[in-house]
Structure 1
Amino acid sequence: MLIFEPSSLYNAESEPPANAGATDIDRAVVRRAGTDVTLVAYGGTLRVAQAAADALVTDGIEAEVIDLRTLRPLDEKTLLDSVTRTHRLVVVDEGWRSVGIAAEIAARAAEYGY
């Protein structure tokens, strides 16, 4: 088991939704619908992706934000369905450029011709 502990979230605060309950962490979730670009993030980078999507609105760009929630299993279907709609992909990741999750996601999108 690998646990990510982004220090940038230490002072972050939020309240769980009123309907919080069991969560299917094997599947990604669309946190923001969009039509122009897919932003993929997980963990601490989700807030960065959401802030980027908010900023893009001022330029008339509607970004879809995908929260992977887990990396294994990687919810390839949700990811590729989004890229099929937007035709553009940005992976928000703090990891290594090579041999990281961003490279894997980009490779899978390229493999399927998106």
Structure 2
Amino acid sequence: MDSSSREPHDVAVEALSTLSEYLERSLDKGVSVILVRSQTDRSDVWLGDAAETQAEWTRCGFVRNALVADILEATQPGLNSLSIDGQTYRFVRTFTQVGEHGAIVFTAA
């Protein structure tokens, strides 16, 4: 297998591994993962309830927008059930608006 044929698999693995890290954090706290696309090159990652104000959320890092695009490609709007790193995750992917920025919300199902 040449490197170009491995690339899509490697990208999906990195995207889903990153998503699983934040899903684990959100499960521990009983909140959602909220990716706010506030920068041209990256999205801020928050944990919280998307129905509450952003002041109530906890910022826990950022993800490159290229990786966010890969996460969106590997998931679908609505209910998802994926095995990531040997663990099965069931979550709902929705969208919301945070100020002037779009946001993607992942909520455990």
What TM-score do you get using the length of structure 1 for normalisation? 0.30
Structure 2 length as normaliser, TM-score? 0.30
More strand as a share of residues = 2
